[in-house]
Chain A
Amino acid sequence: MATLTKQARKKIWAFGALGVFTGLLLLPLFLSFPTGASGEAPAPAATTAPPAAQPADAKPVEKARDIWFKTEGPVVGAPAPKTTDGPRDYPRYNFESRVLLWVANQQHLYYGSFVLAVPIFCMIIEYLGIITKDKALARKYDQLAYDFVKISLTAYSLTAILGGILVFTYLTLYPTFFGYLSSIFRPVMHTYALLFVAESGTLYVYYYGWDKMREGFLKWVHVSMAVILNVIGTVLMMLANSWIAFMQSPAGVDAEGRYLGNIWHVIHTTLWNPINLHRLLGNMAFGGGVVAAYAAYRFLTAKTDEERAHYDWMGYVAMFIGVCFLIPLPFAGYWLMREVYAYRQQMGITLMGGLLAWLFIIQAVMIGALFLTTNYYLWQGMERMRGAERYQKYIKYMVFVLITCFIVWLTPHTMVMSPAELKAMGGQQHPVLGNYGVMSAKNGAINTIITTTVLSFIMYQRANKIPTVKWAPLGNAFLFGLFTMAYVNIIWLAIYGYYIPANVRVGLSVPQVASTLSCLFIGVTLNSIMLSGAKDTGPIVWGQISVRSQYALIMLATAFTWMMGLMGYIRSSVRLFWHVNEIMRDNSPWAFTHTIGFAANMISFNVLFFWLTILFVFWLGSLGVKKAPVPAPIGQKVPVPASSH
């Protein structure tokens, strides 16, 4: 009875905690949305009183048209300030303020991405632990999820500190701009702060309640808490995204930048959702990369086979989750770019065909390197399994396909040349190679790369297994037909694109993406069904993998980090000399676009700084790891630990 009461009490507490967190999540929405950003009473645009009831000297409400949504609204905000270069609008040290802001922003973003991604991992892995029937594996998953959240806890504090540094940097170096932005986003910023409190509370209860809620129903409550934690985290990210989306494609204000009383218009700008999706996927891929690199580091420094086996497995799981989100990332990026073109064609041209085009070539190289490295890791991972030898002979062909597509993928459309070089080549485009610098070829190349990566994964899945289902020959034939025809279709669409006008050609990317995703979803699902109850040719020997594979994981993480820095810079610098595009001009001395070399150095500095600090975080995390118990002398009593972690 006493146990039952204790259980019941636990349940009540668990439900109470869940209710509080849900309430905290919803509270800011109730608080913020009815009021306008101006902080004043809502404008009497739709007053119910008859006009005759108003005082004769009542000031008429000024109305203006939304710059993007084209709706009319009451003017409730001040116009965007017109700044001048001086200490009032741009106070400074003897240093470029923009560079300081760049570092503060990037570091906060790296850590923010990490602490948003890792709890999503925890949720997935903890859930896997619950549904896995194998008790030993379930415990392993649970321990892994716990290890992940432990790492993110230290990083969480650093994220908050970096957020504070970022706000102070804005306030002290760009006070006028930040004042304008916060006048528009006042309720959103308060909501953000409240959600941050809710996120912190949920995270701490989630972490410290791990042991208390490890069994039965309470475990489900615990994993539900992870869902709430991640909903809060995602909403936080989306709110922060609304600020940068507003700066790039403002809405909810008139042409002078005056707020029109509709906070949803300000948040929901045309680029908001593409940025949300791109960032969410990017954060997940980045988080997977960082955790995989951590596991690789621990693998390389491991002293025992058990440790090596554990960290090999951890690296694989993290890499797998990361790659699951990496695969759709180029499609999300494509959607974002398409929306940028739809918003302002010139902005798209500046990005991909003008001032910033060479940065996109660097991005292409990085994406290609990411996929090559992922494939390389999977092929190396097949070494762990007996029976995988039968697939080794196909790898050389896959390498050929990947490298060929990689070269097409990074071929520039036009080159920066001297007049003599231009003359020698006969124009800005090379007569042969220039044909590969267009989107038709590049779309074909990247889709082929991704399809090949899916194929590598399917090979990995079945490396040590032989399907035993009756319809295995039919399934194998269908898989073969699916992949062959997908390759044919992707390449056919790429070639077809050269013969039709641009307005039709642009649509071909959708069936190309659909072909790739068909291979991903149909192929992997069919393969998984075929492998249920398959005959094992040998176990996966975790820990028996080449050292090179672990360097591949580190390379993967570094490439993610570098690419995030690069793409963030590209997205931000496309505003050119605007703080808020076409609304508020940047009149500081730094309203110019840096050279590619300078930008690359800055990105590298940020990457290096992040990795140095995250190593410190990892080191801190390792301090908490319990030492192996020292064997007690015979006859002496051994103290019983309070918890298993």
Chain B
Amino acid sequence: MAGQEGQVSTGMKIAIGIGSFIVAAAYFTFLDWFAMDIQGLDYFYLFRK
């Protein structure tokens, strides 16, 4: 892994890190909405109230 890490610049590492967080956050938000929607429930209930 050390060899691999050596090939990636710090800026790239930060960009990859932020990108992965954004992808994961989008995925889980979609998952929450979808899993509630298929049950006929409103995921954003509190915010729409």
Contact = CB atoms under 8 A, between A and B. Distances in A.
A481 B23 contact: yes
A197 interface: no
**Interface-central residue, A493, A496, A501, A511, by most chain B CB under 10 Å:** A511
Closest 8 A/B residue pairs (Cβ) = A481-B20, A485-B24, A511-B35, A507-B41, A481-B24, A489-B28, A511-B32, A510-B35
B21 A481 contact: yes
Contacts of B19: 477
B2 to A, nearest CB: 8
Q: Which of B5, B13, B16 has the most CB of A within 10 A?
A: B16
Contact of B4 (A467, A499, A510, A514): A467
Say whether chain A's binding surface is mostly helix, strand, loop, or mixed. helix
Contacts of A470: 4
Size category of the binding interface on chain A: 20 to 34
Contacts of A499: 46
A386 to B, nearest CB: 15
Nearest to B12: A473
B44 to A, nearest CB: 10
Contacts of A508: 36
B30 to A, nearest CB: 10
Contact of B24 (A482, A510, A511, A514): A482
A549 interface: no
Interface in B1-49: 1-2, 4-5, 7-8, 12-13, 16-17, 19-21, 23-25, 27-28, 31-32, 35-36, 38-39, 41-43, 45-46
Given A468-B4, A489-B28, A496 B46 contact: yes
Nearest to A501: B45
- B contact patch SS: helix
A474 B8 CA distance: 10
B29 to A, nearest CB: 8
Interface in A496-549: 496, 499-501, 503-504, 507-508, 510-511, 514-515, 518
A499 B45 CA distance: 10
B4 A472 contact: yes
A33 interface: no
9 contacts: A473-B16, A474-B20, A476-B1, A481-B17, A481-B23, A482-B20, A503-B41, A511-B43, A514-B35
Interface-central residue, A470, A477, A482, A518, by most chain B CB under 10 Å: A477
Contacts of B8: 473
Given A507-B35, A507-B41, A511-B43, 5 more contacts: A480-B17, A489-B28, A504-B36, A507-B39, A511-B31
A381 B20 CA distance: 30
Interface of A: 466-468, 470, 472-474, 476-478, 480-482, 484-486, 488-489, 493, 496, 499-501, 503-504, 507-508, 510-511, 514-515, 518
A481 B1 CA distance: 18
A484 B45 contact: no
Contacts of B35: 507, 510-511, 514
A480 B19 CA distance: 11
Contacts of A514: 31, 35
B36 A511 contact: yes
Contacts of B24: 478, 481-482, 484-486
Contacts of A510: 35-36, 38-39
A342 B34 CA distance: 22
A485 B17 CA distance: 12
Nearest to A534: B1
Contact of A467 (B1, B17, B32): B1
Contacts of A486: 24, 28
A334 to B, nearest CB: 14
Contact of B46 (A481, A484, A500, A515): A500
A510 B41 CA distance: 11
B17 A472 contact: no
A485 to B, nearest CB: 4
Nearest to A508: B36
A428 B28 CA distance: 36
Contacts of B1: 466-467, 472, 476
Contacts of B28: 485-486, 488-489, 511, 515, 518
B43 to A, nearest CB: 8
A505 to B, nearest CB: 9
Contacts of B45: 500-501, 504
B23 A504 contact: no
B37 to A, nearest CB: 10
Contacts of A507: 35-36, 39, 41
B16, B24, B39, B42 pick with most chain A CB within 10 angstroms: B24
A511 B13 CA distance: 30
Contact of B23 (A478, A489, A501): A478
A473 B20 contact: no
A495 to B, nearest CB: 11
Contacts of B25: 485
A466 B21 CA distance: 23
Nearest to B16: A477
A474 B23 CA distance: 12
Given A510-B36, A514-B35, A474 B42 contact: no
Contacts of A468: 4
B21 A484 contact: yes
Contacts of A478: 20, 23-24
Q: Which of B28, B31, B36 has the most CB of A within 10 A?
A: B28
A511 B45 CA distance: 15
Given A467-B1, A508-B36, A514-B31, A477 B42 contact: no
A256 to B, nearest CB: 36
A478 B23 CA distance: 8
Contacts of A488: 28
A480 B1 CA distance: 15
Nearest to B4: A472
B22 to A, nearest CB: 8
Nearest to A466: B1
B6 to A, nearest CB: 10
B18 to A, nearest CB: 9
A584 B43 CA distance: 43
